[in-house]
Amino acid sequence: MPHSDRHAFEAYKKNSHKNVNEFTNGEQARGSCGSHPLAQAAGQWQRQARRAREEAYLREQEAEKAAAVSSGAESVSALPCSAAEQQGDRSAGREEVSPPLPSSWRKAGREEVLAWRRPARRSSASPVPAQEEPSLSERRLNKVIAEAGCCSRRKADELIFAGRVAVNGEVETHAGRRICPDDEVSVDGKPLAGAQQMLYLMLHKPVHVVSTAADPQGRQTVLSLVARAYPGVRLFPVGRLDYFSEGLILLTNDGRLAQRLMHPRHHLPKEYEVLVRNVVTQKALQSMRSGMRLAEGEELLPVEVTARSTSSGCTLLRMVLRQGVNRQIRRMCRDLGLTILRLRRVAIGPLQLGKLGTGQYRLLEEAELAALRRAVGLR
């Protein structure tokens, strides 16, 4: 046992209210030493201490003999191992579990013994190898394919797993492979184009136009309205507008922003102008403002609504919705017995449709884009 360890153990015995020997003797006198858990732990601790003292004594004797023979010319580590050391080497692979410490120790003795039992710190000569961090210029393979406008990131994963993507001429089947700027990526043997510029378009969707990227029935989509101006750019609509509704819809190729805008956690308020036939009663308005239950059983949040009569005898409702229930306005008016003549979305969060004509579109201004990103928690 090293000198520091032996001194720590002696300090423990000196500072304890009851040392291990006294505890063991007391339990033996009562005839319960063999069964009591603390007595067993004390006995194990005593045996370990005795073995440590014997080994320390043998090492000191060998060191003194070596110093006398070599007269300081040789180091202790150069001498042959003693029988006790050889026995220690043979038992080095067996890890001993220290017994639980008695609760009656004083604070000073407990801290010293805990310091003795604490494992040694790792030597600075053999530091733990640090994990190599990816370079900021490297990007995941599926993200590179998606940003090039080839397909979505999920579809890119399917292409990679199918073995249709190659990096520097070799087939790559791991979607998480990181790509350097000078790597050559090809899909189905065709070189991949560079990353597309992020676009953010505001479109005034007309009625009888589908707000999806494609329609199996062959109807006109919102993307067909901007296809000529931005050929080869993979845009997609953010959210939905009913086939018979018109108004503001956002088109972009920024998947991160689109995900935030469509996530319920960042749901932005949307404002609509709804022209209904005849006069709307105060009871119907109060039902909207207090929150309705639809005929299908869905609970709706309160809707901010104001009403204004028109010269034709109809009522123009201005409604602000804060949840994304499918066809919410039309189902509300149906349950209240109101007939919708026109439904137009005029605002999404900080974006205002303004005087943008039906079927027209424009790029978002920098201030509009910055406000939109702040609204969904992006910088």
Residue among 295, 246, 242 at smallest CA distance from 275 = 246
Instruction: Kindly state the average pLDDT of the residues 131-135.
Output: 50
Residues 2-11 pLDDT 10s: 555 556 556 5
pTM for this predicted structure: 0.56
Question: Which residues are tagged catalytic?
Answer: 242
Compute the chain's Rg from CA coordinates. 39
Residue among 105, 101, 93 at smallest CA distance from 42 = 101
Residue 214 pLDDT: 86
Residue 78 has pLDDT above 60, yes or no: no
Residue 81 has pLDDT above 70, yes or no: no
Q: Give the separation between CA 225 and CA 210, rounded to whole angstroms.
A: 11
Which tokens belong to 120?
């040694």
Residues 144-187 pLDDT 10s: 887 776 777 788 888 899 889 988 888 988 888 888 877 888 88
Residues 179-201 pLDDT 10s: 887 788 888 888 876 666 889 99
Question: Which residues are 185's β-sheet partners?
Answer: 167
